[in-house]
Amino acid sequence: MNVRLGEGNTPLVPSVTTPGVWFKLESCNPSGSYKDRFVAGEIERMLAIGAKACVATSSGNTGSALAAGAARYGLRSSIVVNEFAPAGKLAQMQAHGARVIRVPGFTVDAALTREVMETLALLAQEEGLPLVVSAYRYCPVGMARVERLGEEVVAALPGARIFVPVGGGGLATAVVRGVAGRAAVTAVQPAGCDTVVTTLASGAGVRPVTSTTRISGLAVPFDIDAGQAVEELRNSGGMAITVEDDEVFEAQRVMLRDEGIYAEPAGAAAFAGALKQLRHGHSAVPRPMVCLVTGHGFKDPDSIAGRISTSEERVDASRLRVVLLGTERVL
Ligand SMILES: Cc1ncc(COP(=O)(O)O)c(C=O)c1O
């Protein structure tokens, strides 16, 4: 069956603050992140084998995309999340009827995370249940659908440099494969969880790190697809850079206040990377810079309300005119 969630063909808009920069609005996918592309492929796979239910792990976005897709195609889903999955993403999963199971320490403690993954892999095998994890290591069929994201960018802007936020490394792997040499890729990773960046620089194998980043979705401190991403980046002449969390929050603020783009922090990480490159004098590079806005701001309202000053005024209807015009006549 050809599964259609309404994913893909997302808008590509130029920045109004930074010449040469473009935003690929993956936040416009139906559940608000690029994971809808992945889930479309996974649901197709599940329907082909006659599955009725699945188990999944998620930092939030895979879960919300899966819950929506599973609801649409009559599948049951149980989703294992960590302590930090943001409220908006959990609300999406629950609204679509998924079973949400929080496991303390998951994705934080490397040994505990391995134990959870082994338990799920064994259970999936014994019960014949699909295990949905947005990584090539577990779900190559779904990840192959994410490669279209890279194809869409090169079709619109051949020769671009694409900035990709990195957690586990699957998305970066997919984008490099999708562009197939027709664009350059820069992986952008939080300095507090820099598995891909250090491995690309050192040439050694991927070492687990203790993650300190607060960017939901990018805190994957062990090798899921990191090794794969490093290999793809190395073979394609790609780059990998780190950004501090505060640089990501500042990029998110610029997107909100000056670009009119409502992104969750992970969706602003690519722009943080592009701004950093420009600050470091890479602006002379004569190619468009495309930042993947991978997730919507609606998913993580606390990341916005907590950091960006918002104010609300309350007035009686009778005073509205006088308040709007004010003493300084701002309108
Ligand atoms: C919004 C967002 N951006 C980027 C990523 C990173 O993708 P990957 O873990 O494949 O590197 C994720 C992963 O969950 C995400 O949710």
pLDDT at residue 328 in the model:
59
172 C-alpha to ligand 1 centroid (Å): 9
Instruction: State what percent of residues in the chain have pLDDT above 90.
Output: 83
pLDDT at residue 29 in the model:
98
Give the whole-angstrom CA distance, residue 294 versus residue 26.
5
Give tens-digit pLDDT for 113-145.
889 999 999 999 999 999 999 999 999 999 999
DSSP string, 181-231: TSSEEEEEEETTS-HHHHHHHH-S-----------TT----S-SSHHHHHH
70, 210: one domain = no
186, 300: one domain = yes
Over range 300-321, report the average pLDDT. 87
171 C-alpha to ligand 1 centroid (Å): 7
- For residue 109, pLDDT over 90 is answered with no
Instruction: Pick the last residue of a domain from 132, 166, 182.
Output: 132
Q: Is 32 in the pocket of ligand 1 (CB under 6 A)?
A: no
- For residue 35, pLDDT over 80 is answered with yes
- Crossing angle (nearest 10°) for helices 226-236 and 170-179: 30
Q: Is 81 in the pocket of ligand 1 (CB under 6 A)?
A: no
175, 246: one domain = yes
93, 193: one domain = no
Instruction: Pick the last residue of a domain from 97, 115, 132.
Output: 132
Q: Is 160 a domain residue?
A: yes
88, 166: one domain = no
Q: Is 255 a domain residue?
A: yes
Give tens-digit pLDDT for 240-268.
999 999 999 999 999 999 999 999 999 99
Give tens-digit pLDDT for 60-84.
999 999 999 999 999 999 999 999 9
152, 236: one domain = yes
pLDDT at residue 329 in the model:
58
59, 187: one domain = no
Over range 31-40, report the average pLDDT. 98
- For residue 198, pLDDT over 60 is answered with yes
153, 175: one domain = yes
Residue 211 belongs to a domain with what CATH number? 3.40.50.1100
HEC string for 229-261: HHHHHHHHCCEEEEECHHHHHHHHHHHHHHHCC
Query: Could you tell me the two tokens for 61?
Result: 């976005």
65, 29: one domain = no
84, 49: one domain = yes
32: nearest Cα among 92, 86, 77, 95 = 92
Q: Is 266 in the pocket of ligand 1 (CB under 6 A)?
A: yes
* Cα angle 173-178-181, degrees, rounded to a multiple of 5: 95
Q: Rounded mean pLDDT of the chain? A: 94
Question: Which residue minimizes the CA distance to atom 13 of ligand 1?
Answer: 217
Q: Please count the structural domains in the chain.
A: 2
Instruction: Pick the last residue of a domain from 132, 161, 195.
Output: 132
174, 230: one domain = yes
208, 71: one domain = no
273: exposed, middle or buried (Cβ count in 10 Å: 0-12, 13-18, 19+)? buried
Give φ, ψ of 87 to 5 degrees: -55, -45
Domain that holds residue 267: 12-33+140-305
